[in-house]
Amino acid sequence: AAVRRASLTVADVKQAAADARYEAPFAGRLAEVTATLGRIVSQNEKLAILIDPTALEVAFKVRDADFGRLLGAGKDDELKPLKVSVVMKFGERVVTVEGTLTRAAATSDPAGGRIVYARLRADERTPLKPGDFVTVTVHEAPIEDAIVVSARAATEDGRILLIGDDGR
């Protein structure tokens, strides 16, 4: 009977150890780690943040006038799937990651403009990390029959004064 009880105890301990182990569904980077070896943790205690380096997004602000050009023809809040380039400089090394516009923020920015998000096509070797300060370029289709006008030559609402050959 003692051997039977001991084997049941061993089985219970093995099951408890298996239940105490948790594996993330992806490999990533840890941030804000509070776990230490030998420390007892309670249920639902946050031990760290696991960041998936292949699921990076970039958030950037655009003016309201520019935001209108990013909207798709369908739903009012749906963005065109435009390509973006994200550049970060590490001294002499320049890292560029491509991505696609995905969504706009659910709320508007009180300071004006809109926050737009783009999902990056990154892999686990990408040196970008959440919180990095980057330069974002949105690739739009070229505008046909356009001219370049100095910003000082136009009013805030885009009007310009044209003078013809006859001085009018």
Q: What is the pLDDT of residue 142?
A: 85
Decide: helix, strand or coil at residue 164.
coil
Class of residue 116 by CB neighbours under 10 A (exposed 0-12, middle 13-18, buried 19+): buried
DSSP state of 143: P
User: Which residues of the chain carry a pLDDT beneath 70?
Assistant: 75-76
Q: How far apart are CA 160 and CA 168, in angstroms?
A: 14
Per-residue pLDDT reduced to its tens digit, 123-143: 888 888 888 999 999 999 888
What is the end-to-end Cα distance of the chain in Å, rounded? 111
**What residues contact residue 64 under an 8 Å CB cut-off, 6+ apart?**
112, 113, 114
DSSP state of 75: S
Backbone Cα Rg of the chain: 27
Per-residue pLDDT reduced to its tens digit, 100-125: 999 998 888 788 889 999 999 988 88
Q: What is the pLDDT of residue 149?
A: 83
Written as six digits, the tokens of 49 are 């943040």
